[in-house]
Amino acid sequence: MGRRVLGAIAVGREVLLVAALDVTGNPHLSGRTVAAAHRPGAWRVLALDLADPDRRSPDLADPYTTTAPELRWNPDPDRLLTDGDRVVVATTREGLGHLTTGTVGPAPAPDDGPADPGPSAGARRSPLPRPTGPAS
């Protein structure tokens, strides 16, 4: 499973990572739609690399690469992620650990999404934005 951290953003006391991940063999990504792969508070798919796997740049952050990335930002939530795909995710450090090891992480969000109860005692707010529904 390939991995490349593209950047890190400090959000309060948390760190939000932006990373490129191969979908192949990843139980959290492979065979799921973009929407189903989202884990609130842990990770979210930001972009899909549309380049042919044989022509992809191994490092999306390299400004000197001769192969320009073909990224589709904000991919269709119904797009099925399959082996051979590469995605760019926003993730927490813990979320990246789950994504790279394939361990069981946070539970998936319900399809209709519960109302946000607000911060509870002892709970931390996620640096990841809540997903928005499709435009009406």
pLDDT digits (tens, 9 = 90+) for 27-78: 999 999 999 999 999 999 999 998 888 888 777 777 777 777 789 999 999 9
The four Cα atoms 114, 132, 83, 85 give a dihedral, to 10 degrees, of -160
Q: Are 76 and 36 in contact (CB under 8 A)?
A: no
pLDDT digits (tens, 9 = 90+) for 68-119: 778 999 999 999 999 999 999 999 999 999 998 877 655 555 554 444 444 4
Q: Which two three-digit tokens encode residue 124?
A: 């931390």
pTM: 0.71
